[in-house]
Amino acid sequence: MFSNYAEQVNKRNSRFGRDFMNEKFFWNGLHGEGAHVDTATVFDGLDWQQAGQKAGNFPHSVWELLFHMNYWQNFMLDFLKGEVPKSGDPDAESWPAAAAPETEDEWDSAVAYYLKGLKEAEQEAGKELSEQVVAGREETRADCLQTIVLHNTYHAGQVVFARKIIGAWPPQRGGEAE
């Protein structure tokens, strides 16, 4: 049933410029267009010391969430490059040892790395989405991009929530999420 549905969607999309629609779909997903605050802006206006604060019963600091988002975004981007990511224990490796960055530089670098990864994902969205990205595996470019979109969206919501708890939301220029 699913393959029949996928065939119908592909036929319909080909009439409306499938490549443009798919690229727009993933770009919108990567940035929360029309659904939630842009995942590229959830770290705006937050300094490195605030990023390490935990409040209440919330289990993670913004720093921990960013570290985790970077790990999995990069993991999926490796797949998109045709590489099988090497990992010992992803559950342990994807969370930092400390709740806070050690320096402002470490924070700024991590945010820049996240934004760079988003740009790479945007570029991947412009390629053939049904292409199998790693030989011998089933994942397609669309599968990997979908994972990035869903994972980043989930944790971006947590970032906004964590920032609200510590009194650091919305950013100075405002935020769209409530």
Q: How do residues 47-75 score in pLDDT, each as one tens digit?
A: 999 999 998 889 999 999 999 999 999 99
Predicted pLDDT of residue 1: 42
Sequence-distant (≥ 6) Cβ neighbours of residue 147 within 8 angstroms: 72, 76
For the whole model, what pTM was predicted? 0.84
> What value does the mean pLDDT take over residues 135-139?
83
Per-domain residue ranges of the chain? 32-165
Q: Is the pLDDT of residue 24 over 70?
A: yes
- Topology of domain 32-165, CATH: Four Helix Bundle (Hemerythrin (Met), subunit A) (1.20.120)
> 85-97 pLDDT, tens per residue?
887 788 889 999 9
The C-alpha angle with vertex 102 and arms to 106 and 87, in degrees rounded to 5, equals: 65
| Residue 134 backbone zone (phi > 0: left; psi -120 to 50: alpha; other: beta) | beta
